[in-house]
Chains A and B, each alone.
Chain A
């Protein structure tokens, strides 16, 4: 199929939507489809061959990301030309509720249009205020996809429209067989944490509180903490016995993420709430690292009710220490768990996810093509 994808956020600034668009586009291309992505970008040299620049524009903050306010005549002309040149079978716009290329493409095109909604934002003032103005564009959407149950609920509450749930994918092959980070290849029992360290609901404090008890049962254990955020706070609160057992290595690049998982004997997700999906869990599962996670709905679902990873009571450091000790002292006991986890991760592999998205494309495209709207 000929597929056009509109990405709302600046390509060379890290962000979940950009990663989603990149992985989707590359999986579709590998499957033999013709794909063109249109996106704002700061440095055009960072664009892959399948992407085109929509032009620079005013940056605005939208829901924690920097969107490019792209409603000007120059970007409109570029989107129109892009649509005309490619004669797409289907146009896939991302986050059309942000005032950017996704919405612009939706306004300017006619024909089979599919939209993916990424944001889970129960009280979006922008969405509430703009609902009436968005309706004429949204009524062109043949199918709406939400990447999480929370994103779907946001859509239902603000726009009264339902969406089908197709989760984010994981590039499973990219996580298999990574080498540990330097200094972590000695097989010493290591617990891995990945996520913002100064965000309470990511639960680093729960894990730190579990460490003294864990130390008592696994004497040489250490903790590898990877993620952005101010390290001074957690470091100051650290139990003196833990000072040389906790390594805070800061933000890691996407390329190094598989190596972080490979550096640990167990990956711990001690989150205390509000997780919509748990993509990081799937990445750890793809890497073959046993997972120990809080018993949250989203995590329980990804971990197949505990068959693909161990669950512990949310916010309970004592239970966490016990479960971590069990996994670390008996690696043989989790062999089946790790094998099943890998099977579950496969079901979320980008190839599987992209196939489901193509299924949606086929259902809405019919005989029509995407054209430039007449008004």
Chain B
């Protein structure tokens, strides 16, 4: 009788623990999905702001980078992967935004330039939030027990999104880059 009680208690404890692990995995997957959504929204917002500046100041190089970045956006908004192609296009846009051409145009149109810089700063934040979430999920999903029991199921492991989102230096006040 006593042995039965112990076995039942043990089974309940193990089941509770596994349920708790599965719950944590679900919660992290939801966090990654939200962070991904936020990142995509922000990439679109940056491209829109850059487009406004390119149109206003007639900057062909910037307009071209915007076009290339935007080409991938419909697929991203439909849930497509943040893959190497997207990273490449967004890198190109980052680089165009740091060009001398943009800085010179910004002297004449400070409002448009400030809008682009703010959106670019938010891209850097959104990317950090996304990669933090991915790292937490991968750390938990990589645990031996979880792999052994296939608790992750068929969900593909999310990947980090790595782009160069360093902001241009425009002589702002100290410590207020974002």
Contacts and interface: CB of A to CB of B under 8 A. Distances in A.
A140 B31 contact: yes
B129 A364 contact: yes
A142 B31 contact: yes
Contacts of A164: 125, 128, 178
Interface in B134-178: 135-136, 140, 173-176, 178
Interface in A273-296: none
Q: Which of B24, B42, B175 has the most CB of A within 10 A?
A: B175
Contacts of A301: 174-175
B97 interface: no
A310 interface: no
Interface string A324-368: 000000000000000000011001000000001001100110101
A364 B130 CA distance: 10
5 contacts: A140-B27, A167-B175, A304-B173, A359-B122, A363-B129
A366 B30 CA distance: 12
B interface secondary structure, majority: helix
Given A162-B132, A167-B175, A366-B37, A139 B122 contact: no
B122 to A, nearest CB: 7
Contacts of B23: 374-375
Contacts of B35: 142, 364
Interface of A: 110, 112, 136, 138-140, 142-144, 161-162, 164-165, 167, 301-302, 304-305, 343-344, 347, 356, 359-360, 363-364, 366, 368, 374-375
B28 A366 contact: no
A301 B176 CA distance: 11
Interface in B33-69: 34-35, 37-38, 42
B68 to A, nearest CB: 25
B35 to A, nearest CB: 7
Given A139-B136, A302-B174, A366 B34 contact: yes
B132 A144 contact: yes
Given A347-B176, A366-B38, 12 more contacts: A110-B27, A138-B136, A139-B31, A140-B27, A143-B129, A161-B135, A301-B174, A301-B175, A305-B174, A359-B122, A364-B129, A375-B19
A301 B174 CA distance: 6
Contacts of A347: 173, 176
B109 interface: no
B126 interface: yes
Contacts of B132: 144, 161-162
B174 A142 contact: no
Nearest to A110: B27
Given A347-B176, A375-B20, A139 B129 contact: no
